Structure 1
């Protein structure tokens, strides 16, 4: 993508080695994962699993950890190497004529790819849509195995944080809610990965500068 505003940004909590993503599950899956340090039964590897670097988009998806089977929110630190492998093997979940000569070519790529990427409007504290978009990454097949076996370095239960932020929002104290949020910044996405998943060019330029900051 060239020109225009930064509309497709990977924003996340990250350090030199890992990036944090979020998932919401029922207690049975969450508690087993917290105990094992990765996903184990009753988690099903055969199903596509979606990871989200945006905390507020996760809150929008799970309704502040209130929706059925999404009552527990997990923050998972995964290796940046694994995260970037996923993007390098991803296919956009929608047909983009700038990247594919035909819908048939896109469908073939989608079928053969172990990773899907889609961009949805980022959310504010009231869960209203914002002008820029947040990335969602769907893992299947080989990507799920790599995620479960190799990429996850730590798992935390952030359900209490979700409830605390929601309580502050409900009370109308947005400054308090904002102060509780994880500090997300633009991820330093390499140019070839930004191109593959449809990231904004300006994101890469900004991310390079942010990545050089201690």
Structure 2
């Protein structure tokens, strides 16, 4: 049986080509140390932009993790930016060694895409939520449940990539973007969601189930 190949996100190709070209140039002129450094850089870039195949849970009520990384926050919050409601918030921190491709938590329609410029504080700090650059997708499921997934830039993450657009029909586990290099994803859910993860747990985008919503469960749209 053939083993599945690990693809690379297309956004990483320019970085891979540049570091590979630099390696070749230094090799041609015989500069050993720069060659070794560039080889290490190329290997890191390939590793960072890896886009492995994920097995998406089949349960239609599952809330799928939008990011690889560590859960740093699970709590109720008053959301004044996206819904004007009290919601459950889950924050996932991605370090530079995590897969950075982000995936849709639940099937639905993209109602709104907000890209807000800002600062670049460390993504695991509280002030990052208030001041950092972010891209927020508000999605409504077929059952009428509305939730928001937010890509948040970090200290060295200077580029948020979002492929989703308003009106798109997206499926749970589908890739919708990525963040370069190290950052965080926040997920805002209705309080009726049954959360199954805790602070400190490691999760995988497109595979780990963060919780469940009851069949037919919805909420008033804002």
TM > 0.5: no
TM-score, length-normalised on structure 1? Answer: 0.28
Q: Flag the structure with higher strand content.
A: 2
Normalising by structure 2, report the TM-score: 0.27
Bigger fraction of residues in helix: 1
Higher RCO (CA < 8 A, seq sep 6+): 1
Query: Which has the greater radius of gyration?
Result: 2
